A and B are shown apart, each in its own frame.
Chain A
Amino acid sequence: MNALYDFSYLTGSIHEWLSERVSPHAVTIVEMILVGISFMLLFAILGIVLVYAERKVSAFFQQRLGPMRVGKWGTAQTIADVIKLLLKEPLMNKEADKFLFNLAPFVIMIAAFMAIAALPFAKGLQALDFDIGILYVAAVSSLGVIGILLAGWSSNNKYSLIGAMRSGAQILSYELSVALSLLTIVVLTGSLQLSVIVESQADGWWIFKGHIPAFIAFIIFLIASTAETNRGPFDIAEAESELTAGFHTEYSGLKFAFFFLAEFANMFIVSAIGATVFLGGWMPLHIGSWEGFNAVMDFIPPIFWFFGKVSFLIFMMMWFRWTFPRLRIDQLLTLEWKYLLPINLVNIVVMAFLGLMGWHF
């Protein structure tokens, strides 16, 4: 691995520089603030880039051009949209529960923030390296449903309430599949720590090393994570042709922007988890004994590998959204409990057997 691309030198030197000047407690606080600010910036950039990407990708799927007016190729369109959302009047339903109504967008955002902290972006570029990393991310990323339920309940709108209730049933059941499909790989890695999982893929990604069970787990993860982020074809919580806008019907302006941003942030988070566990995180693509090829791949910085894989997964999710019709609520639960979960459980047993016999690469 090219030492040039290791971020631990940078982060380590910042830590040393701070330690020489202030007390250890202050170092922790300053570092936390720094990490917080950088994640906030990352979220803002992610929101702007992903909204633009979604609009362009959907446009090209639909033989349209998408935004073209603001900036070259409409690149500044999202910034214009942000300004519009900031200037909009924050309306509130007269009968709404004001405290919960205002709290809900923040709950969703905080859940997204907590999840992103454990993601390994590149070597040494990880805010929190838990030894239960996957468990933590899987647990925290589903906290967002509380925000959705709060939004639906406090809006005093029946459409919102139906959307929120649907979303609750949906996320609770799909959380199982996400966790189980990740567990399938954990069987092989033997660790829940995300950095260890990434390191274990230095000689090949798990989706290649794990044979068919890993591939099945990857497909299940893709389906379940799309459902967990409330995106089409599983967007029954919003379902604009049934429930107008679902749980965020009554939200406007900045609070609506929070929901919107959280959707894209969640999409990024689940894609990042998928990329880390199945596609080797920031590890470059290595093929067996092709030394030359592997050396070339090493030249591409890990951060590009990471974001490249994440964008691939995000593109797949967009592809799903812009191709398929929406499922009905009972079909959604049927898919989970009758298909994904049993297959997943069998898959884990098969994977454990593979791991036991050492049949994986």
Chain B
Amino acid sequence: MEEIITKELESQEYFINMGPQHPSTHGVLRLVLSLDGEIIRNVEPHIGYIHRSIEKMCEHDSYQQIVHLTDRMDYLSCHINNEAVCLAVEMGLQLEVPERVKVIRTIIGELTRLSSHQLWWGVMGMDLGAITTFLYGFRDREMITDIFEETCGARLTMNYNVPGGLMFDIHPNFQKRTKDFIAHFKKKLPEYDDLLSNNVIFRNRTIGIGKLSKEDAISYGVTGPSARASGFSCDVRKHYPYSAYDKVQFKEVLRSEGDCYARYECRIDEMWESLSIIEQLIDNIPEGPFKTPTKAVIKLPKGEWYQKVETARGEFGVYIISEGQKNPYRVKFRSPGFSNLSALNHMAKDSKIADLVAIMSTLDLVIPDIDR
């Protein structure tokens, strides 16, 4: 009798394909969930739907041409990706770039980080059901994209860096626009707190959800705000300063809880830090050339170079092997999204479907960055 009862009440796991087309995977990520009712037992990410073999394409391109391919990886922190490639090539050429270039790169990099976090904030709210935040996030991001469009010539895939400096000098309006933006955004950022951070529903949805301990964060290779929320101090800007980050005062945002809310808070605080970095630099852009002249055909000497930078999502690395040709022999990108995604199963196990959405949006995944 007992056997029959247990057999009849035996629950069965079932599978759901979340994606490749799903509103909250933000791209063509496919997650195979095994569910027990509402509770997730296992998450298996299937990637590769937007693989464009960027690393292989790099082997056929010259060093100037590689730069614009990195725009298409993590399109939300494209300037920082470009910067990484340029820094690696400059390291190989042993080229000293002017101070002006370093400062401008830092300012635009921080603006990129801000715009990425703004978009993330909007999307985070939308994933949790507050669609209005999406529009507010985009409203503020619009000002940054305008700055980019005026100075760099494009709104998203800017391709502003070239090995040796910048493609052209900053626009005369750049400083004024940036200051306007800072003034505007300092007024709007507290609204973000009113809408989400302090909201009781939002706090209940995120606090204690998707815990990631510091040890797990390190062993999964999680970087960026997602890892700093677990207490893993991994800010490349602080530990291995590049460009003008050694000249500015900023603190590395660290949290110890490691849950969704900590990751959320980390990014909100990073926005404040980015604003302060831009404020320190915007009036102090040194005069000078915007580019160190390079040869039309750049040939790196034989050797290997690795440069890492801090994108909005974490540590982005460029590894170039050169055989002395005008094309690299091999290029490897270390993209933060790929490693961050690998911790998803660990974090989302035994939580609910709604929690998975919250965890994914606090990981801030950009799918082309994962697939490359």
Contact = CB atoms under 8 A, between A and B. Distances in A.
B199 interface: yes
B129 A241 contact: yes
A328 B16 CA distance: 19
Nearest to B125: A325
A61 interface: yes
A232 B126 CA distance: 12
Contact of B132 (A61, A327, A331): A61
A209 interface: no
B310 interface: no
Contacts of A158: 14, 16
Interface of B is mostly: helix
A323 B134 CA distance: 11
B90 interface: no
B135 A326 contact: no
A328 B14 contact: no
Given A158-B14, A241-B24, A325 B128 contact: yes
A239 B14 contact: no
A103 B231 CA distance: 55
B23 A331 contact: no
A120 interface: no
Contact of B131 (A236, A322, A328, A330): A322
Nearest to A329: B38
B201 interface: yes
B205 A323 contact: no
A52 interface: no
A159 interface: yes
B32 to A, nearest CB: 12
A240 B354 CA distance: 11
Contact of A162 (B127, B199, B353): B353
Nearest to A245: B23
B136 interface: yes
A244 interface: yes
B130 interface: yes
A329 B352 contact: yes
Contacts of A162: 38, 353
A327 B126 contact: no
Interface of A is mostly: loop
A214 B157 CA distance: 57
Interface string B191-220: 000011001011011000000000000000
B136 A328 contact: no
Contact of A325 (B24, B129, B139, B352): B129
B22 interface: yes
B47 interface: no
B54 interface: no
A100 to B, nearest CB: 20
Interface residues of A, number: 29
B199 A325 contact: yes
A162 B128 CA distance: 17
Contacts of B357: 241-242
Given A242-B24, A328-B352, A159 B129 contact: no
B355 interface: yes
Contact of A331 (B38, B125, B139, B204): B204
A328 B205 CA distance: 7
B205 A62 contact: no
A327 B203 CA distance: 10
Interface in B137-184: 139
Contact of B130 (A244, A323, A329): A323
A235 interface: yes
Nearest to A334: B204
Interface string B89-118: 000000000000000000000000000000
A233 B204 contact: no
B14 A324 contact: no
A325 B16 contact: no
Interface in A230-253: 232-233, 235-236, 239-244
B129 A324 contact: yes
Given A324-B130, A328-B352, A159 B16 contact: yes
Most interface-central of A162, A240, A325, A326 (chain B CB within 10 A): A325
B126 A241 contact: yes
Most interface-central of A159, A232, A241, A327 (chain B CB within 10 A): A241
A64 interface: yes
Contacts of B132: 58, 61-62, 322-323
10 contacts: A158-B14, A162-B38, A233-B129, A244-B22, A322-B132, A325-B196, A325-B202, A326-B130, A328-B352, A328-B354
Interface of A: 58, 61-64, 158-159, 162, 166, 232-233, 235-236, 239-244, 322-331
Given A62-B132, A62-B135, 12 more contacts: A58-B132, A62-B134, A63-B136, A233-B130, A239-B354, A241-B24, A241-B128, A242-B353, A327-B204, A328-B352, A329-B352, A329-B354
